[in-house]
Structure 1
Amino acid sequence: MSDTVTEGVRVGASAFFLPDDSAPDERDYVFAYNIVIANTGDQPVQLISRHWVIIDGSGNVDEVRGPGVVGQTPHLQPGEAFKYTSFARLKSAWGTMEGEYQMRRDDGSEFDARIERFYLTTKRHGVRSEGE
């Protein structure tokens, strides 16, 4: 789990392993990650784009860049939050994710909201079962 505040934008991230969607014998490990983006500042902000750095257990780096998140560019008033879940696929039983969201204030100024490193792992504490 990670939790970081940059210029009034708090980004929390957590991940869990999806064993039913994975095929370890084929080096295919699927993880879900939950993100909460909260505007704790005093100005409205909009998420414009994302940049992820995903590193698997072998040190292979995959960078992902693109507009918005899950097809959206949420605009957050002070006190509002946006939550979403997405997925990452690795060729190892563990890895890390980190990055930033490009944010734009209503006055046009921009900044990068940091997403601190969090871990993707198949270890039991990283597995969520139905009903938990």
Structure 2
Amino acid sequence: MSTTEKYLIRVEAVAEYVADQSDPEDDRYVFAYHITVTNAGTLSAQLISRHWVITDGDGKQQEVRGMGVIGEQPLLAPGEQFSYTSGTSIPTPVGTMHGSYQMVSGDGHSFEVEIPPFMLAMPRVLH
């Protein structure tokens, strides 16, 4: 069995603009993002920490690091999913996010899971 099959975690992300918390006149654009983490591997895996890179429309980046997600360090058996919603704000109507999760498998192996880039965009800003 290959290492890839043991430690296979999939991450899906969808972002949405939160108009009632945003204030474009004050350069505050709030986005919620919905994440689903799926353990497609053959061993259990626990999400230990996260690292996000948030880039606004001017290319300015902020990095966020922390333990777990939304106060949890979910343990996923093979085939299990964990979904959560969180949020961020940026000073431009368009930006991106990407990052990684640091995981530990049931056999004690530490590994990193890439979170693919996804778009933060106020409606009707992009064509």
TM-score, length-scaled by structure 2: 0.91
Partner of 1:3: none
Amino acid in structure 2 at the alignment position of 1:61:
Q
Per the alignment, residue 77 of structure 2 pairs with 77
* Aligned counterpart, 1:115: 115
| One-letter amino acid of the counterpart of residue 16, structure 2 | F
2:25 is aligned with 1:53: no
Question: Which residue does the alignment assign to 1:67?
Answer: 67
Aligned-pair CA distance for 1:107: 1.3
Say whether the 8 Å CA contact 2:28–2:91 is kept in structure 1.
yes
What's the secondary structure of 1:108's corresponding residue?
A: coil
Q: Over residues 21-73 of structure 1, what are the superposed CA-to-partner deviations in whole Å (9 max), with x where a residue is unaligned?
A: 10000000000000000001110000000000000001111000000000000
Percent same amino acid at aligned positions? 47
C-alpha separation in 2, matches of 1:87 and 1:72: 16
Q: Which amino acid aligns with 1:87?
A: G
Quote the offset at 1:125 in angstroms.
9.0
Alpha-carbon separation, structure 2, partners of 1:40 and 1:109: 16
> Aligned-pair distance for 1:106?
1.4
Letter in 2 for 1:68: G
User: Cα distance, 1:19 vs. partner?
Assistant: 0.8
Distance 2:103 2:89 in 1: 26
Structure 1: gaps of 5 or more residues: 1-6, 127-132
Distance 2:58 2:81 in 1: 35
Aligned ranges 1:1-132 → 2 under 5 Å: 7-124=7-124
Q: Give 5+ residue unaligned stretches, structure 2.
A: 1-6
- Equivalent in the alignment of 2:3: none
2:52·2:65 contact (CA, 8 Å) conserved in 1?
Answer: yes
Q: TM-score, normalised by structure 1?
A: 0.88
